[in-house]
Amino acid sequence: MNPVEPIINASLGKLIDPDRFVQVLNGFRKMASVPIRLFDTEGNLLAESISDNPVCEYLNTLRGARSGCAVIRSRLKIVAPPRDRDVIDSIECFCGFQYKIAGIHYQAELIGKLVFGPYHPAEMECVPVEQGDIDPDLDMTRLLDIMAGVPKVSSGSVEQLVATIRAVIDVLLLSAHKAHVTSQMHLATVSESHRELTQKNRKLEDMAEERREFDIKKSNFLAMISHELRTPLTSIIGYSDMLTEGIAGNLAQEQKQFVQTIKAKGDELLKLISSILDFSKVDSGHLTVEPRLVDVGEVVNNAIDRSRENADRRGIGLSVDFPGDLPQARFDAEKIETAISHLIDNSIKFSDPGGVVKVSAQVFKPTEEDGSQDGFGFVLMASPDMLEISVEDFGVGIAQTDLFQIFEPFTQIDESSTREHGGAGLGLAIVKYYVEAHGGRVHVKSQSEKGSRFSIRLPLLTEEA
Amino acid sequence: MQIDFEKREIQLKVVYYGPALSGKTTNLMAIHRRSAPSNRGHLMTLDTKDDRTLFFDLLPMHFETDSGLSIAIKVFTVPGQVIHNATRRLVLQGADSVAFIADSQVSETMANRESFMDLKRNLEENGLDIKGMPLVIQFNKRDLPNVRSDAEIDSLTSKGREPVFKASATRGEGVIETFMGLLRITWDRLNAWHDLEGKFHVSGDRIIESLNRQFSIEDPEA
Distance from CA of A460 to the nearest CA of B (A): 11
Q: Which residues of A touch B100 (CB under 8 A)?
A: 377, 380
Which of A372, A380, A384 is the closest to B137 by Cβ? A380
pLDDT in the model for residue B60: 86
Q: Does A366 touch chain B (CB under 8 A)?
A: yes
Q: Which residues of B touch A372 (CB under 8 A)?
A: 116-117, 120
Q: Mean pLDDT across chain B, nearest whole number?
A: 86
Question: Which amino acid would we find at residue B161?
Answer: R
Distance from CA of A462 to the nearest CA of B (A): 10
Beta-carbon separation of A382 and B131 below 8 A: no
Domain A7-187 has CATH 3.30.450: yes
- Answer with the residue of higher pLDDT: B146 or A297: A297
Strand partners, A453: A392, A445
Centre a 10 Å sphere on the Cβ of residue A330 and count the other Cβ atoms it contains. Answer: 20
Q: Please count the helices (runs of H) and the strands (runs of E) in chain A.
A: 11, 13
Q: Do residues A332 and A290 make contact, with C-beta atoms less than 8 angstroms apart?
A: yes
Rounded distance between C-alpha atoms, residue A34 and residue A51, angstroms:
8
A183 backbone dihedrals φ, ψ, rounded to 5°: -65, -35
| Model confidence at B137: pLDDT above 90 | yes
Question: What is the Cα gyration radius of chain A?
Answer: 50
Beta-carbon separation of B156 and A379 below 8 A: yes
pLDDT in the model for residue A357: 94
Closest residue in A to B101 (Cα) is A380
Residue from A56, A51, A50, A54 nearest A69 by CA: A56
Q: Does A27 touch chain B (CB under 8 A)?
A: no
pLDDT in the model for residue A4: 43
Rounded distance between C-alpha atoms, residue B13 and residue B95, angstroms:
5
Second-level CATH architecture of A289-459: 2-Layer Sandwich (3.30)
Beta-carbon separation of B112 and A380 below 8 A: yes
Q: Does A379 touch chain B (CB under 8 A)?
A: yes
Q: Does A54 touch chain B (CB under 8 A)?
A: no
- Answer with the residue of higher pLDDT: B186 or A284: B186
Judged by CB atoms within 8 Å, which residues 437-456 of A form the interface with B? 439
**What average pLDDT does this structure show over B149-171?**
90
Beta-carbon separation of B160 and A366 below 8 A: no
**What average pLDDT does this structure show over B118-126?**
89
Pick among A379, A461, A463 to test the B interface (most B CBs inside 10 A): A379
Beta-carbon separation of B113 and A384 below 8 A: no
Parallel/antiparallel/unpaired status of strands A317-321 and A89-92: unpaired
CA A355-A358-A360 angle, 5° bins: 180
Beta-carbon separation of A384 and B106 below 8 A: no
CATH: 1.10.238.10, 3.40.50.300, 1.10.10.10, 3.40.50.10470. Which one for B2-213?
A: 3.40.50.300
Quick check: do A7-187 and A289-459 share a fold?
no
Beta-carbon separation of A377 and B153 below 8 A: no
Beta-carbon separation of B164 and A379 below 8 A: yes
pLDDT in the model for residue B147: 85
| Model confidence at B185: pLDDT above 90 | yes
Per-residue pLDDT of chain A (465 residues; tens, 9 = 90+): 444 444 555 678 877 888 889 999 999 999 888 999 999 988 899 999 988 889 999 988 988 888 888 899 899 999 999 988 888 999 998 888 999 999 998 777 788 999 998 999 998 888 887 776 778 888 888 888 998 888 899 989 999 999 999 999 988 888 887 777 777 777 777 788 888 889 999 999 999 999 888 877 877 787 778 778 888 888 999 999 899 888 888 888 899 889 988 988 888 888 788 777 777 777 766 677 788 889 999 999 999 998 888 898 889 999 988 888 888 888 888 899 999 999 999 999 889 889 999 999 998 877 655 555 556 787 887 766 788 999 999 988 888 888 778 888 777 666 555 555 656 677 888 898 888 877 778 889 998 888 999 999 888 876 654
Residue from A173, A161, A54, A31 nearest A99 by CA: A161
- Residue A192: enclosing H or E segment and its boundaries? helix A155-244
Beta-carbon separation of B161 and A375 below 8 A: yes
Q: What is the ipTM of this complex?
A: 0.80
- Residue A155: enclosing H or E segment and its boundaries? helix A155-244
Rounded distance between C-alpha atoms, residue B137 and residue B98, angstroms:
9
Residues of B with CB under 8 A from a CB of A: 100, 102, 106-107, 109-110, 112-114, 116-117, 119-120, 130-131, 135, 137, 152-153, 155-157, 159-162, 164
Beta-carbon separation of B113 and A381 below 8 A: yes
Sketch the domain layout of chain A as residue ranges: 7-187, 289-459
pLDDT in the model for residue A370: 57
Rounded distance between C-alpha atoms, residue B83 and residue A20, angstroms:
51
Beta-carbon separation of A376 and B117 below 8 A: no
Beta-carbon separation of B160 and A383 below 8 A: no
Distance from CA of B34 to the nearest CA of A (A): 28
Q: Which residues of A touch B112 (CB under 8 A)?
A: 380
pLDDT tier at B28, thresholds 50, 70, 90: very high
